[in-house]
Amino acid sequence: MPELPEVETVMRGMRVHLEGHTISRASTHHTGLRWPFPPGLAQALEGQRIDGFARRGKYILITLSGGNVVVLHLGMSGRVLLSRPTQAERAAPAALHEHLVIETGEGARCGLVDPRRFGMVDLVPVAGVEGHRLLAGMGPEPLGNRFDGPWLAAKGRGRRTSIKALLLDQRVVAGLGNIYVSEALFRARIHPARAAGEISGAEYDELATQVRAVLGEAIAAGGSSLRDYVQPDGELGYFQHAWRVYGREGAGCPDCPGPPACDGVERITQSGRSSFFCPRQQEA
């Protein structure tokens, strides 16, 4: 599911719903996700006040009063369900694939649903978060000051890998995934299969601009809903309606006049993953 805009939307929803609350009950309903849950996770959460929320790339960071931070990744299929259950609802069992549930003394409930279990949950001391093995090598935030065309150009210099693969590399820039890479490359008019080392400085400048633009628009729209992704409050994100190429193989390119000048959006597979592009706007 979730790339940066969806993770940001989920994190904001959790903040509104849970910030300042104290966890009264926590339970796990599986041994773990991608990796086993930290030993004693539920007990470690109980009694903690939830002091703050942040996002780093596709990770959600939840600061607890006792000095620990919950590190949460939603993988491919992770969802967060937020509610204020009645007494009767509290007695209900966890939903299918709801692997972690917390309740607060203030009456809120938060369930982590992840059918495919590609996500992860860790609990680390706040001092160790930056050095966390999964976070330490992560590149700059695409909406932050450290990310720009020259940064991308430096990362792409001499590389023969595709620009698509470069943008998916979380060490280069944090938070992009398969959808927004296709969208950003379309907007910047760069073919996804071009070698990263062959992209010009001007093109990298435009690419960085378009990465920021598409992510900003998607966050404003509450992310993209597809399959079962919804915002934590149950609302649908609606950026999927703004996709110009992703998932639109065979459809008309939004910036082309149509046949015979352009046959529309094409799909190719790059290292096992689909890329969508317009062959007329994005030359190989």
> 126-145: b or e for each residue (b if 16 or more CB lie within 10 Å)?
eeebeebeebeebbbbbeee
Q: E strands of 130-193, at which residues? A: none
Binding of DNA by 31 (CB under 7 A) = no
Provide, rounded to whole angstroms, the least separation between the CB of residue 50 and DNA: 23
Say which of 49, 212, 273, 280 is annotated catalytic.
273
The residue range among 40-48, 110-118, 209-217, 256-264 that interacts with DNA, by the rule CB under 7 A, is 110-118
Binding of DNA by 186 (CB under 7 A) = no
Burial class (CB in 10 A: 0-12, 13-18, 19+), 5: buried
157 labeled part of a ligand binding site: no
The three-point CA angle 225-231-233 to 5° equals 145
* Binding track over 39-78 against DNA, x by CB under 7 A: ------------------xx--------------x-xxx-
Catalytic-residue membership of 130 = no
Q: Taking Cα atoms as reference points, which of 57, 37, 12 lies closest to residue 173?
A: 57
SS3 125: strand
Say which of 58, 187, 244, 248 is annotated catalytic.
58
Minimum CB distance to DNA smaller for 185 or for 196 = 196
SS3 258: coil
For residues 212-231, which are near DNA according to CB under 7 A? 223-229
Cα distance between residue 183 and residue 175, in whole Å: 14
Binding of DNA by 92 (CB under 7 A) = no
Cα distance between residue 122 and residue 129, in whole Å: 10
Whether cis (ω within 30° of 0) applies to the bond prior to 115 is no
Say which of 2, 5, 142, 192 is annotated catalytic.
2
Binding of DNA by 284 (CB under 7 A) = no
Per CB under 7 A, the list member of 1, 69, 129, 185 interacting with DNA is 1
99 labeled part of a ligand binding site: no
Per CB under 7 A, the list member of 12, 25, 49, 97 interacting with DNA is 97
Catalytic-residue membership of 3 = yes
SS3 50: strand
Binding of DNA by 29 (CB under 7 A) = no
For residues 127-166, which are near DNA according to CB under 7 A? 134, 159-162, 165
Binding-site size for DNA (CB under 7 A) equals 40
Residue type, 142: P
97 labeled part of a ligand binding site: yes
Minimum CB distance to DNA smaller for 25 or for 267 = 267
Cα distance between residue 275 and residue 168, in whole Å: 12
Cα distance between residue 159 and residue 152, in whole Å: 11
> Are the C-beta atoms of residues 8 and 219 closer than 8 Å to each other?
yes
Residues that bind DNA (CB under 7 A): 1-3, 6, 34, 57-58, 73, 75-77, 96-97, 115-118, 134, 159-162, 165, 168, 170, 177-179, 196, 223-229, 271-274
Enumerate the active-site residues. 2-3, 58, 273
* Annotated binding-site members: 97, 116, 159
* Annotated binding-site members for DNA: 97, 116, 159
